[in-house]
Chain A
Amino acid sequence: MELNKDQEGMSSENNKPQDPNPRFAWEGCSVLLDVNDGDRLVFARLSGGAILKIGNKNYSLKPLIGAPFGSLFQVESGEEGSFLSRVLPVKQENNSNNITEDSRDNRELVDNNEAQNLTGEEIEAMRREGAKGYEIIEALIANSKTFDKKFQLSQEKYKLKKQKKYAPKLLLRRPFARSICEAYFKKYPARIGFIRVDALSLLLTMANVTAYSDVLVVDMVGGLITGAVAERLGGTGYVCNTYKGNSPYPVEMVRMFNFSDKVIERIVQSSINELSSTKTASSEQNNQQEGVCKAEIDINAMQEPSTCDMVVEETPVKAEAIVEDIVVPESKIIKAPKAGAKASKEAIEMWQENGFSSLIMAAQDQDPWSLAKDVLPLLSYSAPFAIYHQYLQPLATCMHNLQQGKMAINLQITEPWLREYQVLPSRSHPHMQMSPFGGYVLSGIRISTT
C-alpha cells in the first residue's frame, strides 16, 4: 500500500520507527488545517492534488507534504498564481505591551461607509501586481480616515480583521482526539451526540483507558469514542465496538486519526449477541430483547460509508467566514487503512473468559439502561465504566436501576462545565460566548452480585 511505504519512508528519515507521535506530515496523512487562528478548521488528506479554497482562490496543499506539524503557511502570489508558502515566524522579544493610557474612544466614529478611500478594484490591482498581504494592510490603514482616531485596542482589532482577509494564515496541525472532537462540536455537534471535549476526556479517564486494556465501547457517535480510545491504547490491547442487532455502528471518524496499521488492527467489532452467546448459564445475561430491537437498530445503523466520500471533512467556525470552504479532492486519493474488522474467535473467547477491562457507552437516542443491562455483564468485576448521554433523565434511571440491582458501586452522574478566558494585560475576562452544555456522564464500577 502506498500509504505505508510513505509512512515508513518518513519514519526512517525523521521519526524513530513506529513513533506514536509523528512530527512531520507525509503524503496521504490526514491533517487538520487551522485558518486564521481557529476561525476555520478543515480536515484534509494530503495528496499532491488536494486543494484548499481560501477566499476566492484555490491553493494546492502540496507544499504541506513533508512539513513539520505546527508549520505556519501564508498565501503568496507569484507569476504562476497564488500559492501557499511556509513562513518561519521570527522569535519575538517580549515586549511587555503595557497598555498606554489612551484617552481616545469611539465618540468620533460614524458608520457611514466612507472611511476607506481605497476601492475594491484598487486593492485587486495591488494584488495582481504581487503586493504582499502586509503591504495591502498598510495601504488600507494609510487610506483610512478613521484609523488614527481609533482607540488603541480597536486599532489592533482593525489590523487583525484586515490580516484575516488579505493575508490569511494557515497552520498545519496533526489531528488528535482533542481537535477532532472540538472541530465536530463546533460544526456538527449532533453527529457526535454533543460530546464536548471535556466530556470526552472524562469518559476516557473514568473508564481507565490505558495500554493493554480491553475496552468495550458502544459507539453511536461516528467513531469518536473508538478513535479516542484507540489513540490511548497505542496499538496494544483492544477496543471492541459492540452493537445490538446485525449491523455494527459506523466508525468512519477513525480515519481522521492517522493511525498506523498496528493501531488499526486493535479496533474490532462484535455484536452483543456474539460476545455473550456462549457464556455459561451462570453469567447474568439477557438476550431475549434482541429480536425486538433489531428492526429499530437496522434503521439507525447506516451503511458503511464508501471509502471516498470522507476524504475531506471541513469545519468553518464562523458563519461570516471570509474564507470559502471547499477542499477539492483530486483524482489521486490515498486511502487510510480500514478499522473495525470482526473480532477474532480467540479474542472473543478471551473476553468471555476474563471480561473486558472497562466500558464506554455513547449511545445516542438509545435508552442507556436497556443497553447497560446487557453490556455490563461482559465486564470483569471491579472494571470501571462510563456512560455518556445528552439527556439526564435516562441516565438517572439507569443509575437507579444499577443501584437497585446491586450491579455497580461508586455510581455518580457528573456534568462537566468548561469556560474559556481571554487573558490580556488589563483586559482579562471570560469569553463572551461559551458552550452551555457538553453532556452527562454516569460512571461506576462493576461488582460481583454474589
Chain B
Amino acid sequence: MLPTESKKALSFKRCIEDGDLVIVYERHDVMKPVRVSKDGVLQNRFGVYKHSDWIGKPLGTKVFSNKGKFVYLLAPTPELWTLVLSHRTQILYIADISFVVMYLELVPGCVVLESGTGSGSLSTSLARAVAPTGHVYSFDFHEQRADSAREDFEKTGISSLVTVEVRDIQGEGFPEKLSGLADAVFLDLPQPWLAVPSAAKMLKQDGVVCSFSPCIEQVQRTCEVLRSEFIEIRTFEVLLRTYEVKEVKVDDGQRQDEDIGDVRPCKRKHRSNEDNTVSHDNSSVAPAATTSVVMARPCSEARGHTGYLTFARLQCLS
C-alpha cells in the first residue's frame, strides 16, 4: 500500500498482478479487500467475477461479472483500508486521523509510538506519514488483537514500517529501549494519565504527545498529569459534516414558448415523474420552463462525537 522505495512509487505500478491486494468497489458504502489470485473468483449479488480477467488491467477500471454487472478495482489507500478493515475495536476515522498526523508534526523519518494498536486504522496512516525511513512502534495488551494487526500489516505490505508488540502500556509503560527516541507518542487508552510519565520519557525534547479519549473526565485527569512536564496543552474536538448533492428541477414559473429549445436538453437528462406533473399542470398551454439546479445540503446523519484529542509538547529542559 505504501511505497518504501522509488521503484514501488505509486504511479509506476498500475496494472493488476497475481497476488495484489485490491479494493473491490461496488458502491461508496460497499467495498471489500480482495487478494488477486489467478484461480480466484469473487462472488457478490451481481454474479461471479474471475480474478484471471483482472490481471493485466490497470487499477481504477471496471471489471464485469458473468451477468454483465461491473465493479471497480482500486488501489488500496489507508483511507479505503479504514473503510474495509475488520473492526476489532472502536476505530479512529478520517477527521481525527488527519488531525492527529498533522498535529504530531510527523514527517518522513520520524519515530512514533502508539498504544493501543486496536484495529490498526491509525497505525496505517502513521506509517504513511513517516515512510520510507521512519517507524511506528505499536503496542496492545491484547495478544490476539496484536496478532491480527500484524497479519493486516503484512497483508497491506506495511509490516516493514510498523512493529507490533504485546504490552500493557498503562501498567508497564513503553519499553526502556525506546527511551528518548520518539518524535511523537499517541495514546488511545482507557486511563491515559497512567501512561503519560512513560510517554514523556520516550519523547525527544520538544516532541509531541496526543491522547484520544471519548470522555471529558479522562481528558481532565490526563491534563492534570501532563502539566508537570508538558507545555502547550491543547484539547480539540474535530468532526466532519458531509453533504449530499442533487440535481433538482426547478419550475421557474414562467411560460416560455421561445426558450423551449434551450430547456429541453436538461429535461431529457432526468426524465422522471416530475415531467409528467409539469405537463399535467399546464396541459392546455405550453409547458412551464424548468431548469436544473445542483443543490447541496448536509447529510441527515452524522457522527456527533468521536473523542477529544489532547496534544502537548514535552518541555525542553536542557
A197 within 8 A of B: yes
CA distance A259 to B214 in the complex (A): 37
Which residues of chain A come closer than 8 Å to B102, judged between CB atoms?
Answer: 177-178, 197-198, 200-201, 204
A sample of 9 more A-B contacts (CB under 8 A), given A69-B206, A380-B59, A400-B245, is A20-B108, A94-B224, A94-B228, A205-B94, A208-B77, A351-B11, A413-B245, A417-B241, A448-B58
B310/A423 in contact, CB under 8 A:
yes
**Contacts A202-B94, A212-B8, A396-B296 given: A94-B14 contact, CB under 8 Å?**
no
Contact B9 A20 (CB under 8 A): no
Which of B108, B232, B310, B316 makes the CB contact (< 8 A) with A68?
Answer: B316
Docked Cα-Cα span, A413 to B95, in Å, equals 13
State the Cβ distance, A419 to closest chain B Cβ, in Å: 5
- Contact call A428/B220, Cβ cutoff below 8 A: yes
Contact A210 B98, beta carbon cutoff 8 Å: no
- A-side interface residues toward B, CB under 8 Å? 19-21, 23, 37-38, 68-72, 88-89, 91-94, 96, 171, 174, 176-178, 197-198, 200-202, 204-206, 208, 210-214, 231-237, 350-351, 354-358, 380-384, 392-393, 395-397, 399-400, 403, 409-425, 428, 430, 440, 445-448, 450
Q: Which residues of B contact A393 (CB under 8 A)?
A: 294, 296
Question: What's the least CB distance linking B265 to chain A, in Å?
Answer: 13
Q: Give Cα A231 to B237, complex, Å.
A: 25
Q: How long is the Cα–Cα vector from A232 to B314 in the complex, in angstroms?
A: 23
- Chain B positions within 8 Å of A19 at CB level: 109
- CB atoms of A23 and B28 under 8 A apart: no
Give the complex CA separation of A19 and B183 in angstroms: 12
Interchain CB contact under 8 A, A205 and B219:
no
Nearest 8 pairs of A and B residues by beta carbon: A381-B60, A234-B108, A70-B206, A382-B60, A201-B102, A70-B316, A357-B10, A382-B59
CB atoms of B61 and A212 under 8 A apart = no
Tell me the minimal C-beta distance from A214 to chain B in angstroms: 5
Pick the contact of B107: A70, A71, A231, A416 (CB < 8 A).
Answer: A231
Closest to A16 in B: B109
Closest B residue, CB atoms, query A88 = B317
Find out whether the CB atom of B237 lies under 8 angstroms from the CB atom of A412. no
Q: Contact partner of B109 among A20, A174, A206, A214, CB < 8 A?
A: A20
Q: Is B78 an interface residue (CB 8 A)?
A: yes
A–B complex contacts, Cβ < 8 Å, 6 sampled? A71-B316, A197-B99, A201-B101, A415-B241, A417-B241, A440-B243
When each residue 282-318 of chain B gets 1 if its CB lies under 8 Å from chain A and 0 otherwise, what string results? 0000000000001110000000000010100111111
B229 within 8 A of A: yes
Task: Please report whether the interface of chain A is mostly helix, strand, loop or mixed according to DSSP.
Answer: mixed
Residue pair A396, B245 in contact (C-beta under 8 Å): yes
Would B229 and A91 count as touching, CB distance under 8 A? yes
Answer whether residue B251 sits at the interface, using C-beta atoms and an 8 A cutoff. no
Q: How far is the CA of A115 from the CA of B2 in the complex (A)?
A: 64
Partner of B10, one of A92, A201, A212, A450: A212
Which B residues touch A37, using CB under 8 A?
232
Distance of A214 Cα from B299 Cα, bound (Å) = 33
A422 to B223, CA, bound (A): 10
B72 near A232 (CB under 8 angstroms)? no
| Pick from B14, B99, B310: contact of A380, CB under 8 Å | B14
Asked if B129 CB lies within 8 Å of chain A CBs, one says yes
A421, B98: Cβ atoms under 8 Å? Answer: no
- CA of A425 to CA of B226 in the docked complex: distance in angstroms? 13
Q: Hey, which chain A residues are within 8 Å of B237, CB to CB?
A: 418-419, 421, 430
Among A69, A96, A414, the most chain B Cβ lie within 10 Å of the Cβ of: A414
- Pair A212/B316 contact, Cβ less than 8 Å: no
CA distance A409 to B70 in the complex (A): 13
The CA-CA distance from A210 to B295 in the complex, in Å, is 34
Q: Which residues of B contact A171 (CB under 8 A)?
A: 231
Contact B9 A214 (CB under 8 A): yes
Q: B95 near A208 (CB under 8 angstroms)?
A: no
Bound-state Cα–Cα, A149 to B90, Å: 50
B132 within 8 A of A: yes
- Give Cα A409 to B60, complex, Å: 9
Closest to B2 in A: A210
Q: Which of A94, A213, A381, A399 contacts B58 (CB 8 A)?
A: A381
A421 with B235, Cβ < 8 A, contacts A202-B94, A210-B3 known: yes
- Name the residue among B28, B99, B103, B242 with the largest chain A CB count within 10 angstroms: B99
Q: Flag if A448 contacts B79 (CB, 8 Å).
A: no
Task: Point out the residues of chain B lying under 8 angstroms from A430, CB to CB.
Answer: 237
Considering only residues 79-107 of chain B, those with a C-beta below 8 Å from chain A are 79, 94-95, 97-99, 101-103, 105, 107
B205 at interface by CB-CB < 8 Å: yes
Chain B residues positioned under 8 Å from A68 (CB to CB): 205-206, 316, 318
- Contacts A409-B28, A417-B239 known; A450 to B183 CB distance under 8 Å? no
Judged by a CB distance under 8 angstroms, whether B234 is at the interface is yes
Q: Which of B96-137 contact A (CB under 8 A)?
A: 97-99, 101-103, 105, 107-110, 125, 128-129, 131-133
